[in-house]
Structure 1
Amino acid sequence: MDNSIYAQLNLFRLIAAAGSITAAARQLGITTPSASQGLKQLEAKIGVPLFIRSTRSIHLTEAGEQLLARTADALLTLHQAVDEARQAGDEPSGCVRITLSRFAYQLILRPVFADFCRRYPQLQLEISIHDGTIDLISSGFDLGIRFGNALEDGVVARPLYPAMREGLYASRAYLDAHGTPQTPADLLHHRLVAYRFVTANHLYPLTLHEDGQDISVTMPSPLICNDIEVMNDAVRDGLAIARIFEPIRDRQADRDAFIPVLEPYWRRYPPVYLYYRRHAQKARRVQVLIDYLLGRTGMIGMDVRRHKGGRQTA
């Protein structure tokens, strides 16, 4: 086999994950023209285009999708073998890539990542904030943090944080001006800070729990955002009611200014899980982050769970 094929397939995988030749080149520490040339050489060997290119985007062809699916596991196995050999007996080194939602970053990773980096100076931590669905294997991430434990085959999930409620909060100034809603029906006369999932380009519906059932409530929205801090600021400024997870609200220095609204109707979310590719923990650079996160959340030692079918959602 051509001894350059591994490097070209790895480049191909990174381009597919990043959706950009430039981004893939940056990860590999090479120039964009070099990455583009490497992709052309791979396509020449295979004999078919792997991507459909335009001035603004790059997408896999059918042949590209098939190649990615057939080579993903093999490439990851090779990466892990190299990591194990390189790091045997040495201090963990290399890059650990983790994907998580904005909420999971605020609650779990933000308070601890600087300490982790100081403890392991030879490691490079790459944090990707993404609220949409991520295929851990094809995207090339080592770890992910999301709600729930329904994962694609070949991925392990371990609990990091217990189930929690999504609360509705408002400021005293807002409630004095607009009144305090007593039932979900009262919300029709109030305003809500709307949250948009950028990747899916849709607004996140407000769901409450009433009489044992989930109900959706549509409210006027003076503000649309995709960031937790913006929602917090909107409450502080008395603009509207906002949805904020209880643990996030409890960590605010001015948490007493966030007044609960309609608490009996709040929706409960499933536990938060750390998930990673099966056998990925054999690479010491990955294992140290797994152990660190499980240890810091106090849930280390709980059962490992493996699931087939379904994709992890934010």
Structure 2
Amino acid sequence: MLSGTTYSQLNIFNAIATEGSITKAAKKLEIAPPSVSNALKALEQQLGLPLFVRTTRRIELTEAGKRLHQSTFATMHELAVAVESVSDLSKAPSGKLRITTPRFVYQHWLKPIYHEFCQRYGDIELEISVSDATINILEEGFDLGLRFGDKVEPGMIARPLTAPMREALFVSPEYQKQNGIPQSFEDLRQHKQIRYRFISSNQLAPLQLDNHGQTITVEFPNSMVVNDTDLMIDASLNGLGIGRIVEPIVADQLANGSLIPVLEPYWPTYSGIYVYFHQNTQKAKRVRVLIDFLLEKFSQTAK
């Protein structure tokens, strides 16, 4: 039978495993580092096996530690959510709630509405992490995430927030004046693009266009490489090359002429924005009300 002490020790052990250090685990759990160290020692003594080995930069799981982490991490999360969901029956939504979102999703969709959620649910402490990196929300301690597409890890659920959207290509009037606008794939070779680099993989995003249902990957020179969507738009407005981003983000600039569409008939269509979360996490009232809030607000935006 799992005692309260062992449960606490396993919770601390999994925090160390995911954070990679005792100090970071202590910070995440909001307890003193010596308490984390003592709990780990007690668990190792109980098991009779070391769970970590120290390296120069971090502590690494031993084989026994890996097996224990794989066996208990998801179960501990499910148990915590189960207890919280029962406790929720008698009270208003409350507690800490962490969500991760790409910058452009925050700027365009989340920024105008998050304050209303905080005002509606004053007992919830909302934490918004803005990052373009690909994040495993369970391992990183997030309750929900926002991103393109519904392809998620096993045990996760994805709910659509927007319809599919096109990726727009565009230039500034100044760029058009100096270089003209390409009218075909072949013309692109005489131009330069502002290229996006993915933060997590460090790979450059390929330019893929839709040629009557056939996906065509086009290569042409780069004028600049960025890993931030705001910088992509700014560099385009400053005439540094052909930029690209999903159409809703630059709809106003395309409408007022500060950006000019390029090869619009060939813009590819991508999956919309989804909110994703662990299948058990939605049982917690604090998580459920945010999911419902996002579905409500995004549907209003689409009208």
In 2, Cα distance between equivalents of 1:254 and 1:16: 50
Q: How does 1:47-196 map to 2 (within 5 A)?
A: 47-196=48-197
Unaligned runs of at least 5 residues, structure 2:
none
Letter of the structure 1 residue corresponding to residue 211 of structure 2: E
Match of 2:245 in 1: 244
Shift in alpha-carbon separation, 1:82–1:169, aligned structure 2, 3 A = same
Letter of the structure 2 residue corresponding to residue 153 of structure 1: P
In 1, Cα distance between equivalents of 2:52 and 2:214: 46
Per-residue deviation at 1:46?
A: 3.5
Q: How does 1:186-225 map to 2 (within 5 A)?
A: 186-225=187-226
Unaligned runs of at least 5 residues, structure 1:
300-314
Match of 2:284 in 1: 283
1:189-239 CA distances to partner (integer Å, 9 max, x unpaired)? 211112111221221111112243212222322322211111111011111
Letter of the structure 2 residue corresponding to residue 70 of structure 1: S
TM normalised by structure 1 equals 0.85
Which moves more between the two structures, 187-196 or 16-25? 16-25
Q: How does 1:261-276 map to 2 (within 5 A)?
A: 261-276=262-277
Q: How many residues align?
A: 300
Identical columns (%): 46
Match of 1:45 in 2: 46
What SS does structure 1 have at the residue aligned with 2:182?
coil
Task: Answer yes or no: is the 8 Å Cα contact 2:96–2:126 preserved in 1.
Answer: yes
Match of 1:5 in 2: 6
What SS does structure 2 have at the residue aligned with 1:222?
strand
What SS does structure 2 have at the residue aligned with 1:131?
coil
Task: Answer yes or no: is the 8 Å Cα contact 1:14–1:139 preserved in 2.
Answer: no
In 2, Cα distance between equivalents of 1:33 and 1:66: 25
In 2, Cα distance between equivalents of 1:253 and 1:94: 42
Which moves more between the two structures, 220-229 or 244-253? 244-253
Per-residue deviation at 1:173?
A: 0.1
Per-residue deviation at 1:16?
A: 3.4
Per-residue deviation at 1:295?
A: 0.6
In 2, Cα distance between equivalents of 1:12 and 1:243: 44
TM normalised by structure 2 equals 0.88
1:135-180 CA distances to partner (integer Å, 9 max, x unpaired)? 3434332212222222233222211111001111110001111111
Task: Answer yes or no: is the 8 Å Cα contact 2:104–2:230 preserved in 1.
Answer: no
In 2, Cα distance between equivalents of 1:52 and 1:215: 49
Per-residue deviation at 1:6?
A: 1.8
Shift in alpha-carbon separation, 1:253–1:89, aligned structure 2, 3 A = farther
Per-residue deviation at 1:59?
A: 4.5
Task: Answer yes or no: is the 8 Å Cα contact 1:72–1:137 preserved in 2.
Answer: no
Task: Answer yes or no: is the 8 Å Cα contact 1:249–1:255 preserved in 2.
Answer: no
Per-residue deviation at 1:48?
A: 4.0
What SS does structure 2 have at the residue aligned with 1:114?
helix
Larger radius of gyration: 2
Per-residue deviation at 1:57?
A: 4.1
In 2, Cα distance between equivalents of 1:43 and 1:65: 13
Letter of the structure 2 residue corresponding to residue 180 of structure 1: I
Shift in alpha-carbon separation, 1:200–1:258, aligned structure 2, 3 A = same
1:230-279 CA distances to partner (integer Å, 9 max, x unpaired)? 11110111111111111111256985311111111111101222122223
Residues 1:298 and 2:294 aligned together: no
Letter of the structure 2 residue corresponding to residue 200 of structure 1: S
